[in-house]
Chains A and B, each alone.
Chain A
């Protein structure tokens, strides 16, 4: 198994000291090492945000693209090059605000890639505006009198979309983080890992203590294949539930596509010359 440092580049991250994203970078590199992935067959696709700077700090292929569009870019890549290992990553704003429209469809296609959302309840890169997951009443640069929107529960959203694999973890527990990424990447189909990754600059260092003190680790008694239980769990407030919340595989996109192509071909082969006949009178 390669050393995880094999996957980390020389570029110095722009993240603040104490940022939760450092643990995600290390966790992802350790997951790559555990899965023994080749850097040249792996691509990490992100949008815009602090967490979206991730690809530049890895030695794999990467695409730091435009705000909210990592999922469709990754989809186009993975659909046309299914043999690649594709990880999509970004923040809560990139994924659930501007990028929110793409979630349902990535899930419905069930493309075999892993989505990591680094949830810090704020817009960090643009310096502290409220995000879709900022708690009600929080004062931020755009909610001077306290936020008046009820935050989105991203786990409920993804379960509601019928996502086959939903897990939650946190930068507070790096070994759990690595474990969840490995399981998600091994899962055949679209897998989602929500990572509580504190922003110490705009949400404060105490986030680490708050998460640690309120974590509920899912144990062997919890059955992730029971979607009704999963729904009950994510509706249970007061705790950060960590572990695999839902795991219900169904055929992935490339499998369906393979069958589709067989149907289109119906046992024969086509050439471009054959296509000219489509235009004959």
Chain B
């Protein structure tokens, strides 16, 4: 049986090199233009714990980790059992296992039965290779031969990955790949499942966190301050390596509040600045966000969402920081919230976040999540030349004493001075202020300033050009989703429509202010509405219903985090 879309799961103990193997498959796919999605999952230990990954490879677009596994490589069944609900297999899954440990029956999730089972003498093969760490590469060789995976590309990936190390290490790994391939050939091992593919132009491989960082750099970000927090630290680390090459600075702050305040100071100084954190960090930064709103300072805050509340589940995804992002500040504090839906979207969203912050002079929150932040996807090479950059409006020839930082204008945006601009001196204040920026406590001024700041929000909702809609024009069921759930939703929509069921989905990018007309139009065009979200309390549904009239009989597909919706979870409710 041939397939153009294969989903391989791999699991092993620390030191087995499962993650490295996954990375090699991902880069091998990208180098020949195959689409690939790689998801990793680990035990809680810092080193040496159980680790697993899911690799999906296809020569057609893929948007999610797909359904269950077609192939399972298990180097340790004890460790497989530590991932309940994560490495679900298809009935008749093809298993490749170390021959020295084959439990009867195989403890597959859901009590399912395997189809073909290939028992590989890894210990012997490792011995033959002379390299005790070669198990993972040998396994890749076996998989390549069994399922017709692109062996030449694997070789090339190994060369790239180990090329900078000693020659012996590179050669040892190439040898290990050959050992795996030759063993399978010698034993005449072949699966009836064969991966069939057409190659294409080379793609890039990236995860969401690195992509947001790169997007920010491209947008002109030159100051970044953060505090280490799972699952956002990679953004700070990327910035730390790259910003200095562009005259910028990354500062690891002493705490979350300091990071947000440093960014505020840089923004006050006319510099494009960003901070990145997760839920607990946003809670700490909330006051500073309000400060950015009332002082009308542009900057970007990234929240890579994880399981909450409090410490929650740091290593897994959830979508329950939406309410905090929208309503977390005390007072009425206009700001914007954007949500990327996949890794590629992270680049555009980062740039739009900066442009929005500059154009409307407000803090902008990017609501990503661990799933997008950490997974690797192949994507077309970033087109940095197509990018449009927006800079804040500044005053022309201001006169000190006459210049009004918070001048009431027709569009709510006042030309923003910053240190260095002669004649534009003003005192920026978190206290309510008049047009000149001096403290004011009267209702009258507060009402006018509130209106000014709110005007920017209502303009943004009208002016933000973006529609992401999939599926039938006049759907029987219309799905509303946001963030990483887009992947499974899009696939479910395509499969359902192919089966003759009229289904559509709308996935907004601008989460706050909400483009209510867009949502309302979509809701009214559907016979029934489904909402998909990873929030136990159903934050997205409650949020939407406060702005848009939702029907009574909504199909609410919700779950708390630390899981991934499968395509079938959606399809089962559609068909």
Residues on A facing B (Cβ under 8 Å): 9-11, 38-43, 45, 48, 53, 55-56, 58-66, 69, 72-81, 83-84, 101-102, 104-105, 109, 257, 260-261, 263-265, 270, 272-273, 275-276, 278-281
B423:A40 contact, CB within 8 angstroms: yes
Report the contact-size class of chain B (Cβ under 8 Å from the partner): 35 or more
Cβ contact of B262, chosen from A56, A62, A73, cutoff 8 A = A73
A101:B425 contact, CB within 8 angstroms: no
- CB contacts (< 8 Å) of B270 on chain A: these are 81
Given the interface pairs A76-B223, A281-B202, the reply to whether A39 lies near B265 with Cβ below 8 Å is no
User: In angstroms, how far is the closest chain B Cβ from the Cβ of A16?
Assistant: 17
B430:A65 contact, CB within 8 angstroms: yes
A38 vs B419: C-alpha distance when bound (angstroms): 11
Given the interface pairs A40-B422, A69-B257, the reply to whether A281 lies near B271 with Cβ below 8 Å is no
- CB contacts (< 8 Å) of A66 on chain B: these are 261, 287-288, 291, 430
B389-432, CB < 8 A from A: 400-401, 418-431
B210:A279 contact, CB within 8 angstroms: yes
B217:A272 contact, CB within 8 angstroms: yes
Given contacts A76-B225, A102-B258, A261-B247, 12 further A-B contacts (CB under 8 A): A40-B421, A56-B427, A59-B400, A61-B418, A73-B264, A75-B251, A76-B263, A77-B265, A77-B419, A105-B258, A280-B204, A281-B30
- CB contacts (< 8 Å) of B269 on chain A: these are 43, 76-77, 80-81, 84
Among residues of B, the one whose C-beta sits closest to the C-beta of A98 is B257
B254:A80 contact, CB within 8 angstroms: no
B485 contacts chain A at the CB level, 8 A cutoff: no
- CB contacts (< 8 Å) of A74 on chain B: these are 265
User: In angstroms, how far is the closest chain A Cβ from the Cβ of B330?
Assistant: 12
Most chain B beta-carbon neighbours within 10 Å: one of A39, A69, A72: A72
- CB contacts (< 8 Å) of A53 on chain B: these are 439
A64 vs B401: C-alpha distance when bound (angstroms): 18
B255 contacts chain A at the CB level, 8 A cutoff: yes
B158-184 near A? 1/0 per residue, CB < 8 Å:
001000000000000000000000000
B242 contacts chain A at the CB level, 8 A cutoff: yes
Among residues of B, the one whose C-beta sits closest to the C-beta of A272 is B384
A81:B419 contact, CB within 8 angstroms: yes
Cβ contact of A72, chosen from B265, B382, B385, cutoff 8 A = B265
A75 vs B422: C-alpha distance when bound (angstroms): 22
A201 vs B364: C-alpha distance when bound (angstroms): 42
19 intermolecular pairs with C-beta atoms under 8 Å apart: A40-B425, A56-B427, A56-B439, A63-B265, A72-B257, A72-B262, A75-B261, A77-B266, A78-B265, A80-B223, A81-B420, A257-B244, A257-B249, A270-B245, A270-B246, A275-B218, A278-B242, A279-B204, A281-B30
A83 vs B384: C-alpha distance when bound (angstroms): 31
User: In angstroms, how far is the closest chain A Cβ from the Cβ of B197?
Assistant: 16
B261:A61 contact, CB within 8 angstroms: no
A66 vs B423: C-alpha distance when bound (angstroms): 26
- CB contacts (< 8 Å) of B419 on chain A: these are 40-43, 61, 77, 81, 84
B27 contacts chain A at the CB level, 8 A cutoff: yes
B288:A61 contact, CB within 8 angstroms: no
- CB contacts (< 8 Å) of A64 on chain B: these are 427-431, 439
A66 vs B284: C-alpha distance when bound (angstroms): 13
A109 vs B262: C-alpha distance when bound (angstroms): 13
B268 contacts chain A at the CB level, 8 A cutoff: yes
B125 contacts chain A at the CB level, 8 A cutoff: no
B144 contacts chain A at the CB level, 8 A cutoff: no
B268:A79 contact, CB within 8 angstroms: no
A77:B268 contact, CB within 8 angstroms: yes
- CB contacts (< 8 Å) of A65 on chain B: these are 261, 264, 291, 428-430
Among residues of B, the one whose C-beta sits closest to the C-beta of A64 is B429
Among residues of B, the one whose C-beta sits closest to the C-beta of A85 is B419
B214:A275 contact, CB within 8 angstroms: yes
B261:A73 contact, CB within 8 angstroms: yes
Most chain A beta-carbon neighbours within 10 Å: one of B218, B264, B265: B265
Cβ contact of B271, chosen from A39, A63, A81, A273, cutoff 8 A = A81
A276:B291 contact, CB within 8 angstroms: no
Q: 10 closest Cβ contacts across the A-B interface?
A: A76-B265, A76-B262, A62-B427, A72-B261, A264-B244, A281-B27, A281-B30, A73-B265, A77-B265, A279-B204
B196-212 near A? 1/0 per residue, CB < 8 Å:
00000011111000100
- CB contacts (< 8 Å) of B26 on chain A: these are 281
- CB contacts (< 8 Å) of B305 on chain A: these are none
A261 vs B241: C-alpha distance when bound (angstroms): 10
B233 contacts chain A at the CB level, 8 A cutoff: no
B254:A102 contact, CB within 8 angstroms: yes
Given the interface pairs A73-B265, A76-B262, A272-B384, the reply to whether A61 lies near B430 with Cβ below 8 Å is no
B7-50 near A? 1/0 per residue, CB < 8 Å:
00000000000000000001111110000000000000000000
Among residues of A, the one whose C-beta sits closest to the C-beta of B252 is A105
A45 vs B29: C-alpha distance when bound (angstroms): 52
Cβ contact of B204, chosen from A56, A72, A276, cutoff 8 A = A276
Among residues of A, the one whose C-beta sits closest to the C-beta of B439 is A56
A276:B384 contact, CB within 8 angstroms: yes
B381 contacts chain A at the CB level, 8 A cutoff: yes
Among residues of B, the one whose C-beta sits closest to the C-beta of A39 is B425
Cβ contact of B428, chosen from A39, A62, A279, cutoff 8 A = A62
- CB contacts (< 8 Å) of B253 on chain A: these are 72, 105
User: In angstroms, how far is the closest chain B Cβ from the Cβ of A215?
Assistant: 33
A115 vs B338: C-alpha distance when bound (angstroms): 37
Among residues of B, the one whose C-beta sits closest to the C-beta of A81 is B269
